[in-house]
Structure 1
Amino acid sequence: MADQKPQTVTIDGQAYSLDALSENAKQQMANLRVTDTEIEKLKQQLAIYQTARTAYARALAAELPSNED
């Protein structure tokens, strides 16, 4: 079998071996991953809502009476 390199993670420009991290550090990394995933979901939802708002504003503008007399 080929020698396998230990897995590493880079944090603030510093590489760390996953084997060298404490269980608490590994849990914090997992927490960060979950949080980052949720932030991305929220960004996607915000983009959807902003698009809908723009469409609603345009639909409203089309329904407003014209000022042409």
Structure 2
Amino acid sequence: MANVTIDGKDYNLDDLSEKAKEQLASLQFVQNELQKLEAQKNVLRTASAAYSMALKNELNS
């Protein structure tokens, strides 16, 4: 029996309605996409900082 915790309350996945299961799947998908976007944002910030530093070094030489 798999459980999911929502707002501090445990729910048995087998007991959820099909509509609730669909909503849960959509919620999980969106949360995963947000995590991917956060990771991508961090990569882009790092790249931006590196390009900025490289530009400053080039302008100062």
Higher helix share: 2
* Higher-RCO chain (CA-CA 8 Å, sequence separation at least 6): 2
| Identity fraction in percent | 48
Aligned-residue offset at 1:13: 0.7
Q: In terms of Rg, which structure is larger?
A: 1
Aligned-residue offset at 1:7: 2.4
Aligned to 1:17: 12
Aligned to 2:45: 50
RMSD over aligned Cα, in angstroms? Answer: 1.4
Q: How many residues align?
A: 61
Aligned-residue offset at 1:65: 4.0
- TM-score normalised according to structure 1 size: 0.77
